[in-house]
């Protein structure tokens, strides 16, 4: 391979430079943005059927946001210099802009979560004692007013923050697509559709993650799954998954139909070098199968039992999580397989098990948000009660 590639590849051009961590980075930021959108559907757009997952969506967005920079830090040779983009920002640098957007978005999410849980925080502080009481009193910031008027004010602020957070979340992840789409020298990346594809796939992965988490949490907690909530999540998931795959196919079909010089590179890339991950995993397994499954849930909802609907939706959501990861893999890794000369291909990239950019560290980074959510759920509930449950609790 190397002897043949020497005719086409530069001497320093044999290996993939952006590896697994750069695949994981846009995947995690996509989960952050997508989960926030689910919460905003309830708070801003009044989709009351999504109330059971409104809190879960915010906490999930926050949990994944905490580790969003870890893949980048693991990839950097000198991660200790990362704060320089914030301390000494360069306003023409997209990465520096990300640092500022990330910081502002993190503050917005923390404030919104605090307002959402303020009543529960105060109630926990008042009925606790010792160290726990002190911790929750500090989190309450010394404000113990939970009157109807104060909660109404909280709700109005939450709506405003959620509305502001929608473009903030979109920019947070859309910029990742911009980073790839602005690389003019790469035929597989350089397209105006790249930020849009990244954004829609982010929403898809976020909705899928919330659906999976909600079903698992309710099963673990021996609670009843809210049927309208799962049905609504499945419908939104079908919509955004369809839009995402349509955009991905339009991009490829346009290149194929135009038959420009870019297709001389992209064509052999997707039909040969990454055919298994692109055609097999991303398009057939990851797109076609969940499209059919979710179509059954949406179009045949009157004929499905609650259990069957939940199982089909759960399976489809898990597959779509794999699909979005495959899309990130194909964009990041696939875009580096062909040489800078435009002729010849590198060897396929296989991630190592250990090391600072290996599979083990990637799994650890992905596991941290789930640990944060479990810890959070130990003190404050992740799932929101329905109106019927609240009414029952009030009568009791």
Residue 5 — very low, low, confident or very high, per pLDDT cuts 50/70/90?
very low
Burial call 255-278: b when 16+ CB within 10 Å, e when fewer: beeeeeebbebbeebbeebbeebb
Lowest mean pLDDT among 37-46, 110-119, 280-289, 340-349: 340-349
Q: Which pLDDT tens digit goes with each residue over 128-142?
A: 888 999 999 999 988
- Tell me what pLDDT residue 212 has: 97
Q: Which pLDDT tens digit goes with each residue over 358-372?
A: 999 999 999 999 999
Residue 395 — very low, low, confident or very high, per pLDDT cuts 50/70/90?
very low
Q: How many C-beta atoms surround the C-beta of residue 44 within 10 A?
A: 18
Residue 2 — very low, low, confident or very high, per pLDDT cuts 50/70/90?
very low
- Tell me what pLDDT residue 389 has: 45
**What rounded mean pLDDT belongs to the chain?**
86
- Tell me what pLDDT residue 391 has: 38
pTM score > 0.75 for this model? yes
- Tell me what pLDDT residue 388 has: 42
- Tell me what pLDDT residue 11 has: 47
What is the C-alpha separation between 262 and 270, in angstroms, rounded?
12
394: pLDDT strictly greater than 60: no
Find all residues with CB under 8 Å of 181, minimum gap 6, and list them: 189, 190, 191, 192, 193, 194, 195
Q: Which pLDDT tens digit goes with each residue over 134-169?
A: 999 999 988 888 889 999 999 999 999 999 999 988
390: pLDDT strictly greater than 60: no
Q: Which of 38-42, 128-132, 380-384 has the highest mean pLDDT?
A: 38-42
- Tell me what pLDDT residue 235 has: 97
Percent of the chain with pLDDT over 70: 91
Q: Which pLDDT tens digit goes with each residue over 205-221?
A: 999 999 999 999 999 88
Residue 342 — very low, low, confident or very high, per pLDDT cuts 50/70/90?
low
- Tell me what pLDDT residue 340 has: 65
How remote is the C-alpha of 144 from its chain's centroid?
Answer: 35
Lowest mean pLDDT among 28-32, 203-207, 341-345, 361-365: 341-345
- Tell me what pLDDT residue 376 has: 93
Tell me which long-range contacts 340-344 makes (C-beta under 8 A, separation of at least 24): 340/9, 340/10, 340/13, 340/185, 341/8, 341/9, 341/10, 341/13, 342/187, 342/261, 342/264, 342/265, 343/8, 344/4, 344/5, 344/7, 344/8, 344/9
Does 78 or 150 have the greater pLDDT score? 150
- Tell me what pLDDT residue 78 has: 82
Does 279 or 335 have the greater pLDDT score? 279
- Tell me what pLDDT residue 184 has: 67
């Amino acid at each position: 391979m190397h002897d043949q590639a020497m005719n086409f590849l530069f001497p320093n051009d044999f290996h993939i430079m952006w590896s697994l961590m750069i695949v994981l980075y846009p995947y995690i930021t996509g989960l952050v943005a997508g989960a926030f959108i689910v919460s905003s559907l309830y708070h801003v757009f009044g989709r009351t059927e999504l109330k059971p997952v409104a809190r879960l969506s915010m906490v999930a967005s926050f949990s994944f946001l905490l580790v969003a920079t870890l893949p980048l830090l693991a990839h950097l040779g000198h991660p200790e210099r990362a704060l320089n983009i914030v301390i000494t920002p360069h306003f023409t640098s997209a990465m520096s802009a990300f640092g500022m957007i990330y910081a502002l978005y993190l503050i917005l999410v923390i404030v919104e979560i605090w307002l959402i849980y303020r009543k529960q925080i105060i109630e926990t502080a008042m009925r606790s004692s010792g160290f726990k009481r002190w911790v929750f009193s500090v989190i309450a910031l010394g404000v113990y007013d939970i009157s109807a008027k104060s909660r109404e004010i909280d709700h109005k602020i939450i709506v405003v923050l959620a509305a502001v957070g929608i473009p903030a979340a979109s920019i947070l992840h859309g910029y990742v697509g911009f980073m790839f789409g602005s690389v003019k020298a790469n035929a597989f990346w350089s397209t105006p559709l790249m930020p849009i594809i990244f954004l829609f796939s982010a929403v898809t992965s976020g909705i899928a993650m919330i659906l999976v988490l909600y079903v698992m949490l309710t099963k673990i907690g021996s609670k009843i799954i809210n049927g309208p909530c799962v049905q609504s999540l499945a419908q939104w998931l079908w919509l955004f998954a369809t839009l995402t795959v349509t955009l991905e196919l339009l991009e490829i079909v346009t290149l194929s139909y135009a038959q420009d010089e870019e297709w001389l590179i992209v064509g052999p890339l997707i039909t040969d070098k990454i055919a298994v991950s692109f055609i097999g995993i991303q398009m057939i397994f990851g797109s076609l199968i969940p499209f059919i499954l979710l179509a059954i849930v949406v179009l045949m909802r009157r004929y499905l039992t609650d259990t069957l609907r939940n199982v089909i939706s759960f399976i489809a959501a898990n597959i779509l999580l794999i699909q979005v990861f495959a899309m990130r893999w194909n964009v990041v890794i696939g875009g580096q397989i062909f040489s800078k000369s435009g002729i010849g291909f590198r060897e396929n990239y296989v991630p190592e098990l250990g090391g600072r950019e290996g599979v083990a560290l990637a799994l650890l980074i992905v596991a941290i948000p789930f640990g944060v959510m479990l810890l959070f759920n130990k003190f404050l509930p992740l799932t929101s009660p329905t109106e019927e449950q609240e009414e029952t609790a009030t009568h009791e």
